[in-house]
Amino acid sequence: MIGAQVIVEMLKQYQVKVLFGVPGDTSIKLYEALHDNQSDLTHVMARDERSAAFMADAYARLSHKPGICECPSGAGSLYTVPGVAEANASSIPVIAITSDVPLSGEGKQT
């Protein structure tokens, strides 16, 4: 079992119903795991990472459940900061999941 499969299984165990995010080169394995694990988990594609974080914040405020957003590494993860910071300042439970290439792939343009 790879890390992406563990994340999807954990989200299922916690009965997460909605995941907001933007697919990226480093999150392909997560999206493959979501596809392979046909569960009740719905992915909502956002226009950009910032929108995904604000969508997770709004979801948490309305549903009274943690909002989950996903983004690839690099600038994508940085773009979630405004939404996550707003949620934090308002004591709203938002979880941001980011992914990266394995250490063996660092600097190899993978």
What is the mean predicted confidence (pLDDT) over 78-85?
A: 94
List residues bridging with 43 in a β-sheet: 19
Residue ranges of domains in the chain, CATH in brackets: 3-100 (3.40.50.970)
Measured CA to CA in angstroms, residue 61 lies from 21, 27, 38, 91 at distances of 18, 26, 27, 10
Could you count the other beta carbons within 10 Å of the beta carbon of residue 12? Answer: 13
Question: What is this structure's pTM?
Answer: 0.86
DSSP letter assigned to residue 65? S
pLDDT tens track for 33-62: 888 887 788 999 999 999 999 999 999 999
| Distance between start and end Cα atoms, the chain | 21
